Structure formats: structure tokens, C-alpha cells
């Protein structure tokens, strides 16, 4: 599966399965049209990673709905992505507090044991807000560079607030 040229862009990879990224690229943005399956792909990837993690101790998937993170930053403008992840994990577990989760999650992030999936970058409608979220994602990646990062977005408007050029662009292909 080779790269295909797209006008005004670097070559992109056409994908049919998110596992394509597991070992090939540390940072990927998947672009696709509305209803094209970006979120389904991201959720399926997260589930496959979680199953592999449970069986093999592979890598922990961390799924972040970008619109939910953005909504949380509107209440707390200084909210960092790691703090958001810890709060969400605490809420979802109902058993652990943030202070109990911080060391295990940091250890996983420090040791290249996470794949962070940011779903729906395009769902932040205001360009200035999207730029702010992209800056937060970029900062998070620079703090934990050994991990892998997978992001989804519609192509429309992506160029107004793109992720760093270190992200490989891919499109969803249908048969």
C-alpha cells in the first residue's frame, strides 16, 4: 500500500485498517469525509488495541473525544490533556482517584506503552478553538514523544489548523 499524491499535500497513505499504523508511524492523522467511518475506525482501533493489551500486555489505548476535551477546557481553560485523561479514567473506573492513577499512567507514557487516539479534531468548529486544541495536542506529544498518536478529522478546514508536519496524513478508502 503505497502513498498517493494529493494536490497541495505531502503524499498520503490510503488505509483500510487502522492496525496499519501500529508500527509504521508514530503520529498519524486520518482524514475522511463526513460519515466516512473515521470515528468507527478510531473506536475499532482502540478496541483491537485494548484486546491485544489484555492478552499480551501490548500497548494501552487512550481514547480522547476531542469535542469532550474541548468542552472541558471551556470550564477550565488551563486543563492539560494528561489531567483530562486522568479525570476521565477516574470517572470511568469509579474506583480510582486521579492521584492514584497519575503514576501508573505517567509510567506507561514514559515507557512507550500508550497509543493516544484523538477522535474528531474537525468537531471543534471555531478555527481559533481548533488551533488551541492542536497546540495542546502538540504540547502533549512533545511531552510523551515515545508513544504513538492517532487523530481523525475531516479534510475540510484541516489546513486552517493542521497538526505538525510530523503527522503522516492518511485517508479512508472504501472498496
Is the per-residue pLDDT at 119 higher than 60? Answer: yes
DSSP class of 118: E
When the pLDDT of each residue in the chain is averaged and rounded to a whole number, the result is 83
Tell whether 2 is covered by a domain: no
Domain with residue 96: its CATH number is 3.40.50.300
Tell whether 34 is covered by a domain: yes
What is the β-pairing status of strands 3-4 and 12-15? antiparallel
| Of 42, 19, 24, 11, the residue nearest 116 (C-alpha) | 42
Tell whether 5 is covered by a domain: no
Q: Which pTM does this prediction carry? A: 0.81
Q: Which domain holds residue 104?
A: 10-172
The answer to whether the beta carbons of residues 90 and 98 sit under 8 Å apart is yes
| Torsion sign over Cα 81, 64, 124, 10 | positive
Beta bridge partners of 63: 117
The answer to whether the beta carbons of residues 12 and 4 sit under 8 Å apart is yes
Tell whether 1 is covered by a domain: no
Tell whether 4 is covered by a domain: no
**Confidence tier at 8 by pLDDT (50, 70, 90):** very low
**Domain total of the chain:** 1
Tell whether 101 is covered by a domain: yes
Any idea which of 55-69, 71-85, 122-136 has the lowest mean pLDDT?
Answer: 55-69
Amino acid at each position: 500500500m503505497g502513498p498517493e499524491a494529493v494536490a497541495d499535500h505531502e503524499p498520503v497513505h490510503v488505509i483500510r485498517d487502522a492496525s496499519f499504523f501500529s508500527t509504521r508511524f508514530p503520529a498519524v492523522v486520518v482524514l475522511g469525509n463526513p460519515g466516512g467511518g473515521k470515528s468507527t475506525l478510531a473506536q475499532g482501533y482502540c478496541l483491537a488495541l485494548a484486546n491485544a493489551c489484555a492478552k499480551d500486555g501490548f500497548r494501552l489505548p487512550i481514547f480522547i473525544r476531542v469535542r469532550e476535551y474541548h468542552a472541558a477546557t471551556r470550564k477550565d481553560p488551563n486543563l492539560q490533556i494528561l489531567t483530562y485523561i486522568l479525570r476521565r479514567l477516574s470517572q470511568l473506573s469509579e474506583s480510582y482517584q486521579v492521584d492514584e492513577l497519575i503514576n501508573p499512567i505517567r509510567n506507561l507514557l514514559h515507557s512507550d506503552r500508550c497509543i493516544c487516539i484523538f477522535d474528531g479534531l474537525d468537531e471543534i468548529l471555531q478555527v481559533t478553538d481548533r488551533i488551541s486544541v492542536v497546540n495542546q495536542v502538540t504540547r502533549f506529544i512533545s511531552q510523551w514523544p515515545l508513544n504513538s498518536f492517532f487523530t481523525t478529522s475531516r479534510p475540510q478546514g484541516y489546513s486552517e489548523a493542521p497538526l505538525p508536519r510530523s503527522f503522516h496524513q492518511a485517508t479512508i478508502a472504501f472498496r
